[in-house]
Amino acid sequence: MIVVVGAGPAGMMAAIAASGREPVLLLDRNEKVGKKLFITGKGRCNLCNDCADALFFERLHRNASFMYSSYYGFSTYALQSFFTERKVPLKVERGERVFPVSDKSSDIIRCLEREIEKRSVEVRLHCAVTDIQPDGPKFIVQTEQGAISADKVILATGGMTYPKTGSRGDGYEFAKKLGHSVIAPLPGLVGLRTEHADRESLTGLSLKNVRLYAEAEGRIFEEFGEMLFTHYGISGPIVLSLSSKINRLPGVRLYFDLKPSLSEQTLDARILREIAGAPNKEAATLLATMLPKALVDPMLAHTGIDRHLPSHQITREMRARILHFLKAYPLEYRGLFDADTGIVTTGGVEVREVDPSTMESKRHRGLYFAGELLDVDGPTGGYNLQIAFSTGHLAGTSAAQEV
């Protein structure tokens, strides 16, 4: 018997791929399968990304080369075909993000459930696994409903984010007990806590087409797009993507460019044109032509310019301060938002201890890993679900071949 622990996207795909030759048992502590999948993409389920294969690997944050075999064995094309062939039409939106046409994650889950039922996979819900022990060439899987003898075990328990969906991080403990190293799990694709004098006044402000920078250990990371100021710091697509790149780095310096498409020289020329066109316009009014209203007061405070100063009295040195604000608005980094707000987990089972061509443990024959439990993650846009489905498919296929 093949036992799959965890009925998320990786676990369900693993169970489907493993079925056919030997009995497959899918266990989950929740009352239904795919509980976390229901809320992905704000309930719309961003299934994968329709990017070119090379871009998929280029965009992953950690251990991209580990994904070669699993991805090429079950690529974005194969994943999309899996659902369209089962009458779940898909669409591609901005950023090459793939969604069901219905915009309902429940359609994806129902498709997987139908396939699981069709392949006679046994599903046990409300069945939390408490321990996994080697038993000669087999394993004893201890659950709240009793012990199960398994020829193969596929661990697909997910990460530590969204604990209310059952992702409690217990898979890491199982892996450790079975001799595996675990890279400390941290929330990924998560907001950043920041401290700055303007936090209260900026809460709720959304910015588009800005570039966010992070400097740490002599490296510079950057993201372009949309961001949002919150009560605790900053969030939004570019912040989430940046978070997974810097969450393990000390001494991070954050700043963003409000006008990334314009050079300082171009911006300075624009300021001079504004001054020439209305020399008696107050500084605050002048700046409001270049900035969202909510940022005018923070800029005045940051640059030390009197809001009522006639624009013709703005000196070259003042313009330099304005330009610095526009091109390098500083934020004091204070860490990550809480784990329960992260979309994925970074870190996990050390991939050097897992065979990338099979997903089988190098410590225990017959033990396989899939999904978020592994130390692989990517940006927003469907990459992390692709990782889950690809590794789940390979783990299931490999486990079935080895029985």
Question: Is residue 280 predicted with pLDDT exceeding 80?
Answer: yes
pLDDT per residue as tens digits for the range 360-395: 999 999 999 999 999 999 999 999 999 999 999 999
Q: What is the pLDDT of residue 201?
A: 83
DSSP per-residue letters across 234-269 = EESHHHHHHHHHHTT-SS-EEEEES-TTS-HHHHHH
Task: List % helix, strand, coil for the chain (3-state, nearest 5).
Answer: 40, 25, 35
**Residue in the block written with tokens 């500084």:** 283
Residues 6+ apart with CB under 8 A from 329: 255, 256, 257, 258, 302
pLDDT digits (tens, 9 = 90+) for 92-128: 999 999 999 999 999 999 999 999 999 999 999 999 9
Q: What mean pLDDT do residues 155-171 have?
A: 82
Q: What structural domains and CATH numbers belong to the chain?
A: 2-187+343-400 (3.50.50.60), 191-336 (no CATH)
> 402 CB contacts (<8 Å, ≥6 apart)?
152, 358, 360, 365, 366
CA dihedral sign, ordered 168, 171, 176, 178: positive
Whole-Å CA distances, 167 to 29, 84, 214, 345: 10, 29, 29, 10
